[in-house]
């Protein structure tokens, strides 16, 4: 009875929190609203997870551990200093699921639902923020878009939990099996990488086809982006044939290509490695290689020990984590469409072509410029984070493990070569900073903090500067 009263008070706290946040963020720019919304959720979440009644009997966590876990959950990363299973009881794990769901969809989406359900009109700034959060380009029917996001999310997560329960209920019993299935489904769809098994992630289910394929399906679904799924769904609903958007075709093609590339390269580099997949059968090697490639798209689940993987494999994983998923979804990283635009621009420059063209279409120069801005800022953030982590990490860990940890945090992936629990608080603070920047986007962070008003001289077109490059 006492637990129900405490849980009711927590629910009322969240309700009051949403109202206050929606009022506070009304007059801010979209970038600042995204920045502050995530920061507020992290603060409240860390306080909730530090409450005594949500702690497991085996918990030895400090507030710093709760803060790190909250940042990782809200930023849908998956890194932790202490396992969820040994730190939080059922109530704590319910809060964890809620934080992961907010992190995956964004607080502004929940605020948007609050407004639509109360039949209040969304302000122009709210619409701009939601469009920026999901890379939604159309201004009409935004309310329907928000409702569709929630409906699609809960349907997919529900289907995933239902399928996982066929394996987890026999393993853990009815109550815990259903709860664990829901936890995993939410975590996988939001690309969070958390589980409530322990510190070994999915290693005990390494060769289980149902667990691996269902979780991989949830990861891919969340990483494709909501616009892609809504475009695909429109093909089924409408009787008249309508072509898919070019963005949808591009995302699907790049996703298939990256998954194929990652699976094949993992098989080639780890085929005879007894520490990873060397002792498995051929079908099991393919399954594990495919699952880890999917997980590197910012999900963070692990079915192998990365300390046993070859350095060249980790380097290939670093590249895949750097690319990330598609825009407008729950994945992080640079985004595959951004990287593709840069490749097309490089080709255009090498061939001396006047426009960036692909499949009888020309990419807007502003899109190319934004892609370059995002790439440069993301790369510089990665290098700065790597430098800071290298300076603050103890015991001089291998450089490839530091790179692996840095991009895992920045791309909100959540895999680690067993480095996270060994880091000191200063290094963990660097990791938290990278996770936060990676979730909201380095460009969004700079815009939210700069508040720069262009001067008249910045708008003047001067004579051309004589600079030689190359």
Does residue 464 lie in a domain region?
no
Written as six digits, the tokens of 188 are 């996988």
**Interval 121-145 mean pLDDT:** 55
Here the contacts of 212-217 (C-beta below 8 Å, separation 24 or greater) are 212/287, 212/288, 212/290, 212/291, 212/303, 213/287, 214/160, 214/163, 214/164, 214/188, 215/160, 215/164, 215/184, 215/188, 215/291, 215/299, 215/301, 216/290, 216/291, 216/294, 216/295, 217/160
**Hey, what are 29's tokens?**
């720019």
Higher-pLDDT residue of 215, 450: 215
pLDDT at residue 383 above 90?
yes
Contact status, residue 341 vs residue 367, Cβ threshold 8 Å: yes
pLDDT 10s digits, 160-198: 999 999 999 999 999 999 999 999 999 999 888 898 887
pLDDT at 226: 77
Averaged over 118-131, what is the pLDDT? 52
Whether pLDDT at 22 is above 60: no
d(CA 259, CA 291): 9
- Which value, in Å, is the radius of gyration of the alpha carbons in the chain? 22
pLDDT given at position 263: 96
Q: For residues 201 and 417, give the distance between their C-alpha atoms in angstroms, rounded to a whole number.
A: 13
Query: Distance (Å, rounded) from C-alpha 263 to C-alpha 445?
Result: 34
Residue 393 has pLDDT above 50, yes or no: yes
- The pLDDT confidence band at residue 156, using thresholds 50, 70 and 90, is very high
pLDDT digits (tens, 9 = 90+) for 260-274: 999 999 999 999 999
For residues 85 and 187, the answer to whether their CB atoms sit within 8 Å is no
User: Taking CA 345 as the corner, what is the angle to CA 340 and CA 350, rounded to the nearest 5 degrees?
Assistant: 125
Mean residue pLDDT of the chain comes to 83
Is 6 a domain residue?
A: no
In a domain, 15, yes or no: no
Whether the pLDDT of residue 87 is over 90: the answer is yes
Higher-pLDDT residue of 326, 260 = 260
> In the prediction, which pLDDT does 390 show?
93
Average pLDDT over residues 5-34: 60
pLDDT of residue 405: 95
Question: pLDDT category, 366, cuts 50, 70, 90?
Answer: confident
Handedness of CA 150, 151, 157, 162 (dihedral sign): positive
**pLDDT at residue number 139:** 47
The percent of residues in the chain predicted with pLDDT above 70, rounded, is 79
Q: What per-residue confidence (pLDDT) applies to 76?
A: 87
Residue 4 domain-assigned?
no
What's the confidence (pLDDT) of residue 10?
Answer: 59
Percent of residues in the chain assigned helix, strand, coil, to nearest 5? 65, 0, 30
CB atoms within 10 A of CB 291: 29
Higher pLDDT, 449 or 144: 144
C-alpha separations of 174 from 179, 183, 198, 290, 388 in Å? 9, 14, 19, 30, 46
Domain-located, residue 99: yes
The domain of 71 spans 30-125+142-449
pLDDT at 170: 93
In a domain, 12, yes or no: no
In a domain, 24, yes or no: no
pLDDT band of residue 142 (cuts 50, 70, 90) is: low
- Is residue 242 very low, low, confident or very high in pLDDT (cuts 50, 70, 90)? low
Of 7-21, 49-63, 224-238, the range with the lowest mean pLDDT is 7-21
Smallest CA-to-CA distance from 285 within 342, 212, 347 is with: 212
Model pLDDT, residue 456: 65
Q: Is the pLDDT of residue 127 over 60?
A: no
The answer to whether residue 378 scores a pLDDT higher than 80 is: yes
Tell me the pLDDT tens digit for each residue of 208-227: 999 999 999 999 988 887 77
pLDDT of 96 over the 70 cut? yes
Q: How far is CA 16 from each of CA 13, 141, 146, 283, rounded to the nearest angstrom? A: 5, 28, 21, 52
81 pLDDT above the threshold of 70: yes
Q: Is residue 13 part of a domain?
A: no
Q: Which of 181-185, 287-291, 338-342, 445-449 has the lowest mean pLDDT?
A: 445-449
Question: What is the Cα–Cα distance from 217 to 203, expressed in whole angstroms?
Answer: 18
Number of structural domains found in the chain:
1
Average pLDDT, integer, range 147-164: 89
> Rounded CA gap, 414 and 80, in Å?
8
Alpha-carbon span 456 to 318, nearest angstrom: 43
């Amino acid at each position: 009875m006492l637990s129900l009263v405490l849980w009711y008070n927590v629910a009322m706290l969240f309700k009051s929190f949403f109202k206050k946040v929606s009022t506070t963020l009304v007059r801010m720019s979209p970038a600042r609203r995204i920045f502050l919304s995530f920061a507020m959720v992290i603060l409240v979440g860390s306080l909730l997870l530090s409450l005594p009644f949500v702690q497991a009997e085996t918990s030895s966590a400090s507030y710093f551990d709760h803060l790190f876990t909250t940042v990782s959950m809200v930023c849908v990363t998956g890194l932790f200093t202490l396992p969820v299973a040994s730190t939080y009881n059922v109530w704590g794990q319910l809060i964890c699921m809620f934080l992961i769901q907010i992190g995956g969809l964004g607080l502004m989406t929940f605020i948007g639902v609050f407004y639509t359900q109360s039949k209040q009109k969304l302000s122009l700034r709210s619409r701009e923020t939601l469009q920026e959060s999901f890379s939604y380009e159309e201004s009409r029917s935004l309310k329907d878009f928000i409702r569709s996001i929630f409906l699609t999310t809960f349907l997919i997560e529900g289907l995933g939990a239902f399928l996982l329960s066929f394996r987890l209920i026999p393993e853990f019993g009815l109550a815990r099996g259903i709860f664990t299935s829901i936890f995993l489904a939410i975590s996988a769809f939001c690309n969070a990488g958390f589980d409530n098994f322990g510190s070994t992630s999915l290693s005990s289910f390494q060769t289980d086809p149902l667990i691996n394929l269902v979780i991989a399906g949830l990861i891919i679904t969340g990483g494709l982006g909501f616009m892609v799924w809504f475009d695909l769904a429109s093909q089924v609903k409408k009787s008249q044939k309508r072509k898919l958007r070019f963005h949808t075709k591009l995302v699907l093609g790049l996703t298939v290509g990256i998954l194929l590339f990652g699976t094949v390269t993992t098989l080639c580099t780890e085929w005879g490695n007894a520490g990873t997949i060397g002792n498995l059968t051929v079908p099991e090697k393919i399954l594990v290689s495919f699952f880890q490639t999917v997980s590197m798209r910012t999900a963070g689940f692990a079915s192998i020990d990365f300390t046993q993987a070859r350095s060249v494999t980790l380097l290939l994983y670093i590249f895949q984590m750097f690319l990330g998923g598609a825009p407008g979804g729950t994945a992080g990283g640079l985004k595959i469409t951004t990287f593709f635009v840069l490749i097309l621009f490089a080709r255009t420059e090498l061939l001396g072509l006047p426009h960036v063209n692909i499949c009888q279409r020309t990419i807007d120069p502003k899109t190319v410029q934004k892609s370059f801005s995002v790439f440069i800022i993301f790369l510089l953030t990665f290098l700065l984070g790597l430098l800071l982590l290298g300076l603050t990490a103890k015991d001089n860990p291998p450089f490839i493990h530091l790179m692996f940890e840095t991009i895992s945090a920045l791309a909100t992936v959540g895999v680690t070569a067993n480095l996270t629990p060994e880091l000191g608080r200063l290094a963990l603070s660097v990791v938290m900073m990278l996770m936060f920047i990676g979730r909201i986007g380095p460009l969004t962070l700079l815009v939210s903090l700069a508040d720069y008003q262009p001067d008249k001289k910045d708008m003047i077109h001067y004579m051309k500067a004589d600079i030689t490059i190359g």
